[in-house]
Structure 1
Amino acid sequence: MNGYTPADNELIYRKHRSKKGRGNCLWSFNKERRMQKIKISAVSSAMLLAAPAMAADIVIGVPNWASVNATAHVLEVVIEENLGLDVELQNGTNPIVFEAMDKGSMHAHPEVWMPNQQNLHDTYVKDNGTVVMNTNPVQAEQGMCVPAAIAEEYDIKSIDDLSDPDKMAIFDTDGNGTPEVWIGAPGWASTVVEKIRAKSYGYDQIFELTEYEETIAYANLANAATAGEPWIGFCYSPHYIFVTQDLFVLEEPAHDPATWTIVQPTDDPDWLEKSEASTAWNGATLHLHYAKSLEEDFPEVAALFANFQMDGESLSAMGKALAVDGQEAADFAQEWVAANEDKIVGWLTN
C-alpha cells in the first residue's frame, strides 16, 4: 500500500503521457510509481530484507471456467506491474471464494454470475458487509442450446420440445434408450437451477441429466457440430462457444418471478421438491466482487476493482483464447494488457 489516490495516479500518468508519448506512458507511469515507492527509510528496507518471506499481498480466487481464469490473470498483471504488489491466484469454487473474502484470506472473485450466486451475494454483501460488488456489470444470458443445424433439421425450437420423447430420441448418444442432456458442471449454482428447471418443465422424465466439466461438454459440442450429430445442453453468454459455434437457444416463456422459487440443497434436504422454475432465466449480469477490507488495507486495489469494467465480447474472446486456442493464461494476460492500455488506465485513474 502506498497511499496514492486515483487523482495522483492520473496526474503521474498524464505527465508521462505528455513527455513520452502514448506508446511509453504506462511504462513511465509505472516507473515513477515504483521509484516513489523505493523512497523508504534505510531502517525499513533493512527490516524488509531481514524478514521471512510473506504471503502475497493480494489473493484472487479463480473458479473453474476459462473467462474467469483469463480475467484473474489480467488483474494479476495489472496489479503487479502498476501497483507494485505481489498477487497470488488460487483455485476455488464460488462458495469457497466468498467465504475466503469474508475472512480476508482472498480478496477478489473476478466473475460472479447474478442471480446464480444471489445467496452468496446476500450473505456476504448484504448481511455480513464484508464483500463489495463492482457496479459495472456485463450483461449475460443463459438457457438450453442445440446446434442450429440440428434445430433446423429436427424442428427443435422450444423448451416444450424437450418433453417429446420421439423428438428427443436423437440425443441418446450412448444407445441405452435414454437421451442425455448436459445441465452444467458440478458445483455451479446454475446446475442446481437447471435440475429445478428440468423438473418444472417435465423433461427430467425424458432425459438423463448429466453433470461434468464444461471443457469436456463443449469439446463434445464441437465434435458433434463438426460431424453434424445431435448435442444438447446448458449454454451461457458471454462465452467462446458463441464465437466458435452456430447455436440455437431454445425458446421459453418470458421470465416470471412468480414462477421461480429456488431452494438451495444446503438449505433443505427437500430442496428439489420445494423448488420451481418454469419460465426462462431472468437476464443475468456478471460482477467482480472484492473484500471490503481492501478499502483500508490496499485502497488503490479497491479502487481498481471498483473501476474494473469488461464487455461480453472481450470475455468471449478471452475464453476462446484459453479453452480453444490453447494459450497459457499468463502469456495471454501479458499480451492482453499490452494491447489494452487505455482500458487499464481507466481502471487505474477513474
Structure 2
Amino acid sequence: MKISSLNRLPLMLTAVAGLLVASGCKQENKAPAGDTAEAAAPAKKPVVRLVYVNWAEGVAMTHLVQAVLEDRMGYQVQTTMADVAPVFASLANGDADAFLDGWLPVTHKSYMERFQGKVVDLGTNYEGARIGLVVPADLDITSIEQLNGKKQALNETIVGIDSGAGIMTTTEKAIKEYGLELKLVPSSGPAMTAELKDAVAKKRPVVVTGWKPHWKFARWDLKFLEDPKGVYGAAESIHTLTRVGLEKDLPDVAALLRNFKLDDQQLGSLMGAVSDAEDAPEKAVREWMKQNQALVDGWIPKA
C-alpha cells in the first residue's frame, strides 16, 4: 500500500523516538563520561630538574637527555644553567635532580669532597676527557714551561672560562707551579671559543683553558701543551651526578641516566650539531636522536 508523505511523518517521528529511547537505555549501564576520562588519565609525572654549566659538552648532553625524557618517557623537564659552585650546591640541597658534566677525578674533586654524602655519582657517561692549556697547532712551543717566552705575543694573558670552574682553579695552580708571568682572565665557554676563533683567523698567538671533548678540536687545528709537572692530571672521565634520593623517587629516570653513555665520535657529532644550531639546541638534539635511534633506544629502561 502506498503511504502519502503526510501519513509517513508520524511513522518517522515514532521510529526516531524509539531509537533515542533505545540509545538512552544503552547508556544507563555506562559510567559517566567524566568518570571514564578521569579513570583513563595517567598519573602526572613530576618535573625532572637538570642543571648544567655553559660548557659545550654539558649544553649538548643536557638538552639531549631533556629531549629523551620528554619525547620518549613522558616527563616534563626544567633546565637551569649556572656556574659550577651553584650547580653542586643545588644537587646537595635537593633543589636539582641531575648534572651530566661532572669531571673526575681531578677537575671537580674539591666539590665532590665538599659535598661528600650529599651528591650521588651514577658513573661515567664519557671516557677519555682531559683538561689543560690549548694553543693553535702552529704555535712554535710544545710545553707549558715555554709560555713565558711567548708572554708578549700572548699579551701576558691566558683566556679562561667562568671563574668557578675547576679548570680555572687548576690553571691558577699551574701558574704558580710553572712560575708563569701570565694572568688568567675569566670569561665563559662561548667567550673563550670566540677569542680562539678570532686568534686563529688572524693567525695571532693565543692560549686558552681547554678541554676535550669539545667541538673546537674538530673546527680548528689545536694542541694541548705538555704538562710535565702533571698539574692538570691524566685523562679524566665525565660523570653523571644526582641528588640523594633520586633513584628511590624516580627509578626510571635514574636508570636512564645510568645507561646514558657516549663515545668520542657520538659526543663529537652531537656537540657539532648543537654548535651549528646556535640558538636552537632543542631542534638539533631531536634530529640527532633520529639519526641515532638504536643508541637512544638502548638507554631507555624497559618497563
TM-score between both structures, scaled by the size of structure 2: 0.79
**Structure 1 partner of 2:296:** 344
After TM superposition, give the deviation of residue 80 of structure 1 in Å: 1.5
Q: Is the 8 A contact 2:64 2:285 kept in 1?
A: yes
Q: Distance in 2 between matches of 1:47 and 1:290?
A: 26
Return the alpha-carbon distance in structure 1 between the equivalents of residues 289 and 175 of structure 2. Answer: 41
C-alpha distance after superposition, 1:68-114 (max 9, x if no partner):
11211111111112221111111222232222223332111011111
Among 66, 78, 86, the residue aligned to 1:88: 78
How is 1:135-174 mapped onto 2 (pairs within 5 angstroms)? 135-149=124-138, 151=139, 155-164=140-149, 167-172=150-155
Paired-residue identity, %: 25
Instruction: Extract unaligned runs of 5+ from structure 2.
Output: 1-34
C-alpha separation between the residues in 1 aligned to 2:126 and 2:56? 18
Give the corresponding residue for 1:64.
54
1:211 matched residue in structure 2: 186
Q: 1:157 to 1:132 in 2, by over 3 A?
A: closer
* Aligned counterparts, 1:31-50, within 5 A: none
What residue number does 2:110 align with? 119
Contact 2:85–2:164, Cα closer than 8 Å, also in 1: no
Give how far 1:325 is off: 5.1
Deviation at 1:117, TM superposition (A): 1.1
The residue number in structure 1 matching 2:261 is: 309
Contact 1:140 1:312 (C-alpha < 8 Å) held by counterparts: no
Q: Does 1:320 align with 2:272?
A: yes
1:287 alignment partner, SS class: strand
Encode CA deviations 1:260-315: one digit per residue, 9 max, x unaligned: xxxxxxxxxxxxxxxxxxx4422211111123422222111111111110123333
Q: Give the superposition deviation at 1:168.
A: 2.6
User: Retained in 2: the 8 A contact 1:185–1:211?
Assistant: yes
Q: Which residue of 2 aligns with 1:196?
A: 173
- State the number of aligned residues: 267
Q: Deviations over 1:311-346 (max 9, x none)?
A: 233333333333355251111111111111111111
Structure 1: gaps of 5 or more residues: 1-39, 49-53, 173-178, 256-278
Q: In structure 2, how many angstroms separate the alpha carbons of the residues matched to 1:280 and 1:101?
A: 26
Please state if 1:181 is matched with 2:158. Answer: yes
CA distance in 2, matches of 1:244, 1:337: 23
Structure 1 counterpart SS, 2:204: coil
Please report how far the alpha carbon of residue 44 of structure 1 lies from its aligned counterpart in structure 2 after TM superposition: 5.8
1:237-252 aligned at under 5 Å gives the runs 237-252=212-227
Contact 2:160 2:188 in 1 (8 A): no
- Look up the SS of the partner of 1:309 in the other structure: coil
Structure 1 residue 332 corresponds to structure 2 residue 284: yes
- Residue 238 of structure 1 and its aligned partner are, at CA, apart by 0.7
Match of 2:210 among 235, 258, 283: 235
